[in-house]
Amino acid sequence: MIDLKDAIRSIPDYPKPGIIFRDITTLLGDARAFRRAVDELVQPWSGAKIDKIAGIEARGFILGGAVAHQLSAGFVPIRKKGKLPHKVVSIGYSLEYGIDEMEMHVDALLPHERVILVDDLIATGGTAEAAVKLMQKLGADVAAACFVIDLPDLGGARKIEALGVPVRSLIAFEGH
Is residue 151 within 8 Å of 145, Cβ to Cβ? no
Residue 9: inside a domain? no
Residue 3: inside a domain? no
Domain count, the chain: 1
Q: How many residues comprise the chain?
A: 176
Residue 167: inside a domain? yes
Closest Cα to residue 77, out of 101, 53, 94, 99? 53
Residue 10: inside a domain? no
Mean pLDDT of 96-120: 93
Domain containing residue 140: 48-172
**Res 96: pLDDT:** 67
**Res 2: pLDDT:** 80
**Res 6: pLDDT:** 96
Residue 53: inside a domain? yes
- CA dist., res. 71 & res. 137, Å (int): 24
Residue 39: inside a domain? no
* Residue range 118-175, pLDDT digits in tens: 999 999 999 999 999 999 999 999 999 999 999 999 999 999 999 999 999 999 998 7
**Res 44: pLDDT:** 96
If pLDDT is split at 50, 70 and 90, which confidence band does 94 have?
confident
Residue 113, pLDDT > 90, answer yes
Mean pLDDT of 15-37: 95
User: Would you name the residues annotated as active-site residues?
Assistant: 59, 96
- CA dist., res. 56 & res. 58, Å (int): 6
**Res 99: pLDDT:** 85
* Residue range 34-89, pLDDT digits in tens: 999 999 999 999 999 999 999 999 999 999 999 999 999 999 999 999 999 999 99
Residue 95, pLDDT > 90, answer no
User: CA neighbours within 13 Å on the CB side: how many for 5?
Assistant: 7
CATH code (residue 161):
3.40.50.2020
